[in-house]
Amino acid sequence: MEKLIITCALKGAETTRDSNPNVPYTPEELAVAAEEACVEGASIIHLHVCQDDGTPTMDPAIYEKAHDLIKKRTDAIVQFSTGGAVGMSLEERAAPLDLKPEMATLTTGTVNFGREVFYNPAQYMETLARKMAELDIKPEIEVFDAGMIKNALFLVKRGLLEMPLHFDFVMGVPGGIGGSAAELNFLAGMIPEGTTWSVAGIGRHETTLGTMAIAMGGHVRVGFEDNIYYHRGVLAESNAQLVARMARISREIGREVATPEEAREILKMK
Ligand code: KMH
Ligand code: ZN
């Protein structure tokens, strides 16, 4: 089986130290957390930034600082979020792309997000996809529900996205698809031959879905954005601890973990 790509989502727009005091905030803290995660086997760093008090921001100056520091400490693929936080404008969400990260997320549809709405109408998808193509940024298609796969394939048909796509199934967000084995199997069966996928299981689904993905030949995302616990009721100490568990499970069943260079090859980025 192809080596396993582990993405580490160091912090989410919605994750704060109120829920886990180990969440990294500043560019320096994010870079240290990225390095620790890479030592344990992460090859992609999914990046959200915030102000010093944890307030989410898409400020390009903060993204630039975090990006530079992560690149100094690791050779990971740095993947910017274009989802940002619920309620951010398209302009805000697109702005950090000018820094030309290697990779960025693209959510191909609108979804309820707890009691809020994560808004991704056609104009948002098209603008972000065009900008990523212009700047040669590899998109990762974020799928919160099944219809988003169809939307992404429609963008390919219209020439706005290029094959082979890489999907990330974000499963277990209240409002989106659930976190069962049947649902993962359904999504993995919907994507065309030659494309790649990973799974980001939210909360308690992180380890179960990640383990299933390892066995199925998919890839895995873990980290504080998706889950702040190591075990039920026990907070994780670091992002690296969550990465290490996935790497260990994968090696135990005979699947090696990809380096960043190997991840670039698997994702056809070079
Ligand atoms: N914060 C969520 C509303 C992404 O990074 O592209 C959206 C999100 C997706 O986190
Ligand atoms: Zn994110």
Q: What is the pLDDT of residues 84-128, one digit of tens each?
A: 999 999 999 999 999 999 999 999 999 999 999 999 999 999 999
Indicate whether 119 belongs to any domain: yes
pLDDT in tens, 145-197: 999 999 999 999 999 999 999 999 999 999 999 999 999 999 999 999 999 99
pLDDT in tens, 43-76: 999 999 999 999 999 999 999 999 999 999 999 9
Indicate whether 1 belongs to any domain: no
User: Contact at 8 Å (CB) between 97 and 133?
Assistant: no
Left (φ > 0), alpha (ψ -120 to 50) or beta: where does 44 sit? beta
How many domains would you assign to the chain? 1
Domain span holding position 26: 6-266
Given ligand 1 and candidates 63, 82, 105, 106, which is best to mutate, with the most ligand atoms within 8 Å of its CB? 105
Report the candidate in 205, 207, 221, 244 with the shortest Cα–Cα distance to residue 46.
Answer: 221
Q: Which atom of ligand 1 is nearest to the CA of 9?
A: 5
Q: Indicate which CATH number applies to the domain containing 28.
A: 3.20.20.70
Indicate whether 105 belongs to any domain: yes
Q: What are phi and psi of 240, to 5 degrees?
A: -60, -35
- Stretch 120-144: mean pLDDT: 98
Pocket of ligand 1 (CB under 6 A): 12-14, 81-83, 85-86, 105, 107, 113, 118, 142
> How far, in Å, CA of 130 to CA of 257, rounded?
32
pLDDT at 152: 98
- Stretch 202-218: mean pLDDT: 98
Q: Which atom of ligand 1 is nearest to the CA of 105?
A: 6
pLDDT at 16 over 90: yes
CA of 142 relative to ligand 2 center, distance in Å: 9
Place 1 in a pLDDT band, splitting at 50, 70 and 90.
Answer: confident
Indicate whether 169 belongs to any domain: yes
Indicate whether 24 belongs to any domain: yes
Indicate whether 179 belongs to any domain: yes
Is the pTM higher than 0.75? The answer reads yes
CA of 225 relative to ligand 1 center, distance in Å: 9
